[in-house]
Structure 1
Amino acid sequence: MKKHIKQALLPLLCGSLLIHSAAAYELGRVNIELSGEIVAYSCGVEVSQANKKVELGRWALKNFRAAGDKTQSMPFSFQLQNCPPSSAVTFVFSGKKDKQDSSLLAINEGASAAGSVAVEILDSQKNRLPVETKSPKIAMDINGNGQAQFYANYIATGNRPTPGIADADATFMITYD
């Protein structure tokens, strides 16, 4: 009889140790919410144009005699693909805003950076496109492809610009209807 009790208690004892050991090592519970969306189109820029450098040129300080003086506008464009057919897209450029005029991109800071100068982005009609503002709509063709044309130039933000390196960085977001 004792042998049968020992045989019956042994599995119960082992089971209770397993339950106890599992409870003893639980460190807490974490809920994870996973979300996303499946879309028919993934409108974007051709891969070969993902990292674009726009050369704004070398300009003499005499081109910036007063606030608002600008250099020649330099064109740059993006080839768009995989957009919804016959749709329209907009661009929003973002980056560090100039301290004197928040619609302009600030020149990257540094010991050798130019002063009182910023970068102005223009839309396809050469109208100023302020930082963090949607561009006019850009039409896509029936295949969902198109071209977005922009321009950029330097602009004096003060009456006494100083010479130096005049680089600026921007990123953009594309939205489509």
Structure 2
Amino acid sequence: MKSINSKFSGTGNMKGILAFMLAAVFSPAAVSDIGSINLIMKANLVSNACTITPGTMNQTVDLGTWAVKQFQETPRGVPAKQFFIELIDCGHLASGVKVKFSGTVDPVNNTLFKLDTGSTATNLGISVLDRNKDVIKPNTETIVYPLRPDATNISLAFYAQYVATANSVGAGTANSQATFTLEYL
């Protein structure tokens, strides 16, 4: 899934504009023809600043096999597994990108993605981390990853890890899904 970000910016003082409009309406000169104002807005819309590599589109991140006792020893979770979103053919139109991972939030810990209904493990969630290993809450944007217009390949680094949501973790399969959206800046 790809996003297009368009920003409009302007300068001015809203109080000044409001005062001018009120003065124009309530002044005697307002009765006469004040003329017309033409406002022209222009924008360039681009479909994508970068192309996402095919291997990135539907990737599976294998978080490994872990003993249940490891979650008792390290409540934060087991070691994180690095994965990448690979971008190519980035033009000069964007200087950065934010990523949003969307999915079902764990009901016990809102910083985790909930395990799928087909999962048999219990009291676990999956955490996604940014390049600095800071937690990315589900359905929120990441920090800005800079894009270099001269680069042919850009790798956005992330991490994922299992995290216990209770003192007792039950063994079984533990899978979750997240969809990422890119917002070019």
Structure 1 moving runs of 4+ over 6 Å:
none
From 74, 78, 87, the counterpart of 2:85: 78
Q: Shift of residue 66 of structure 1?
A: 7.3
**Alignment correspondent of 2:68:** 61
Give the unaligned 5+ runs of structure 2.
1-43
**Alignment correspondent of 1:29:** none
Question: Does 2:144 align with 1:140?
Answer: no
**Alignment correspondent of 2:34:** none
Whether the 8 Å contact between 1:89 and 1:139 is mirrored in structure 2 is yes
Following superposition of structure 1 onto structure 2, how do residues 119-134 of structure 1 map, counting pairs within 5 Å? 119-134=126-141
After superposition, what is the alpha-carbon deviation per residue over 1:76-131, rounded to whole angstroms, capped at 9, x for unaligned? 00111244426100100011111101221111123x61111000000001111111
Task: Give the TM-score, by structure 1 length.
Answer: 0.72
Aligned length: 140
**Alignment correspondent of 2:103:** 95
**Alignment correspondent of 1:13:** none
RMSD of Structure 2 on Structure 1 (CA): 2.1
Whether the 8 Å contact between 1:56 and 1:154 is mirrored in structure 2 is yes
Task: Give the TM-score, by structure 2 length.
Answer: 0.69
- Bigger CA drift: 161-170 or 79-88? 79-88
Give the unaligned 5+ runs of structure 1.
1-36
From 51, 62, 68, the counterpart of 2:58: 51
Question: Does 2:161 align with 1:175?
Answer: no
Q: Partners in 2 of 1:142 and 1:176 — Cα distance?
A: 13
SS at match of 2:176: coil
**Alignment correspondent of 1:118:** 125
Q: Partners in 2 of 1:54 and 1:68 — Cα distance?
A: 21
After superposition, what is the alpha-carbon deviation per residue over 1:5-31, rounded to whole angstroms, capped at 9, x for unaligned? xxxxxxxxxxxxxxxxxxxxxxxxxxx
Write the letter of the residue equivalent to 1:157: T
After superposition, what is the alpha-carbon deviation per residue over 1:53-85, rounded to whole angstroms, capped at 9, x for unaligned? 101000000011279431011000011124442
